[in-house]
Copies of this chain bind each other. A is one copy, B any other.
Amino acid sequence: MKNPFASIPDAHEREAGDVFAPAFNADGLVTCVVTDADDGTVLMLAHMNAQALQLTLETGIAHFWSRSRGMLWKKGETSGNTIAVEEMRVDCDQDAIWLRGRVAGDGVACHTGSRSCFYRAVTPGGQEGTFVLTRRG
């Protein structure tokens, strides 16, 4: 699929303007963070190519590019945990997307069964200067 989005080479224009011109990286991807539209919890971080971004905008349901599988990924297609987009934002240099969304089904965003992929905190370990992971929620 052709990239249907504008391209703005000038950094200042990309930051200041009202033209949506996602700055895809060398692999054709932008990074996307998804938060819960209601309580702000960071649910997951994934990547979108132009097709995933276009489909997300057209359908209002989050689509990504799976780097591990090398294919378009409609999140929740098999689990039922699709993500309805409440708002899409783009950052200053337009290489990152923030989706505020709502997870369908049982509300679980992570393939491990946790609500959020970020279910562990990095906490001080037994010895000074060491760190371990502690489960949260």
Interface of A with B (CB < 8 Å)? Answer: 15-20, 31, 33, 35, 39-42, 44-45, 57-58, 87-92, 96, 98, 110-112, 114, 117-122, 129, 131-136
Contacts and interface: CB of A to CB of B under 8 A. Distances in A.
A118 B129 CA distance: 34
20 contacts: A18-B120, A18-B135, A20-B122, A33-B33, A35-B42, A40-B41, A45-B96, A57-B131, A58-B129, A87-B121, A88-B121, A88-B122, A89-B118, A89-B119, A89-B122, A90-B118, A90-B120, A91-B118, A92-B110, A92-B117
Copies of this subunit: 2
Nearest to A134: B18
A135 B92 CA distance: 11
A57 to B, nearest CB: 6
Contacts of A40: 35, 39-41
